[in-house]
Structure 1
Amino acid sequence: MTRRRSSAEALASADLAPATGGTCCKSCRWAAAETIDVKYYGKLDLTPLACTDVTRSSFINRACYDKAQQFMVVQLKSVYYPYCEMPAATFDAFLNAPSMGKYYNANIKGTGSDGLFDCRTHRLPKY
């Protein structure tokens, strides 16, 4: 079972203490923010998305989702791909599928611009 970890949890668990041994102040928290390159999208700050590291798939490494925007990015090997207007139930089913790869190929990926959640034909969120 994969564990969902929000960007806020990642920040809280990261070792952000300065070299002086003190505690981290608000101004140094930005250093732990994560920005990724998403194919067909560009730079994306993951702060609004909840990310799950995937260890039980041979080609899916990570899935991040923003419930409010119904937006998912999935990391396949080293490349992140965007999916738009994806209901939370679909994302949850993807994470809990016996085979994430089979579920992804059958219910998310699609082919070309006829993909069910292709951001070229669905509303692309603005961050």
Structure 2
Amino acid sequence: MVRALAVLLAQLVATPIVSETVETDDRRTIDLGTFECRDINRSTVLQRVCYDPTRHDLVVATGGFDARYCGVAAKTVDQLLGAPSMGQFFNRHIRREAAGRRYDCSA
């Protein structure tokens, strides 16, 4: 038993830690190593929300696709996560704003 545990620990130490990455809808790969991610189970629109508070980057999974939004304030993310309808909040205040260039990462 002790030997098996020692072997398991040795394997864990030797295994490299790899950050999770996602490919966004514009085919860019984002390393989520600095993001705080939450799986969403109370929305029919959003599946996952990841936020990097240092860079103010938001990655949202909707419909099986990930999209990145830049320059999103932490307050906006808090409002999104606390909204009665996360999908409505997201569509009105984040997705629409990205189309208008406010949260567009290429701007």
TM-score interval for Structure 1 and Structure 2 normalised by the shorter chain: 0.7 to 0.9
Cα drift, residue 34 of structure 1: 0.9
TM-score by length of 1: 0.71
- In structure 2, what is the equivalent of residue 35 of structure 1? 21
Q: Relative to 1, partners in 2 of residues 1:111 and 1:69: Cα closer, same or farther, differing over 3 Å?
A: closer
Q: Relative to 1, partners in 2 of residues 1:120 and 1:113: Cα closer, same or farther, differing over 3 Å?
A: farther
- In structure 2, what is the equivalent of residue 79 of structure 1? 65
Cα contact 2:97–2:103 (8 A) shared by 1: no
Structure 2 Cα separation of the partners of residues 103 and 65 of structure 1: 16
Structure 2 Cα separation of the partners of residues 108 and 116 of structure 1: 9
Cα contact 2:58–2:72 (8 A) shared by 1: yes
Mean Cα displacement is larger for which, 106-115 or 50-59?
106-115
1:118 aligned onto 2:104: yes
CA RMSD of aligned residues (A): 2.1
Cα drift, residue 28 of structure 1: 1.6
Structure 1 Cα separation of the partners of residues 20 and 101 of structure 2: 27
Residue 53 of structure 1: which of 39, 57, 69 is its match?
39
Larger radius of gyration: 2
Residue 86 of structure 2: which of 100, 114, 123 is its match?
100
TM-score by length of 2: 0.83
Structure 2 Cα separation of the partners of residues 70 and 96 of structure 1: 18
- In structure 2, what is the equivalent of residue 91 of structure 1? 77
Mean Cα displacement is larger for which, 104-113 or 44-53?
104-113
Residues 4-49 of structure 1: per-residue CA shift (max 9 Å, x gap): xxxxxxxxxxxxxx9x432521x42424x21110122511111010
Q: Aligned residue pairs: how many?
A: 101
Structure 2 Cα separation of the partners of residues 86 and 111 of structure 1: 10
Higher relative CO (CA 8 A, sep ≥ 6), structure 1 or 2? 1
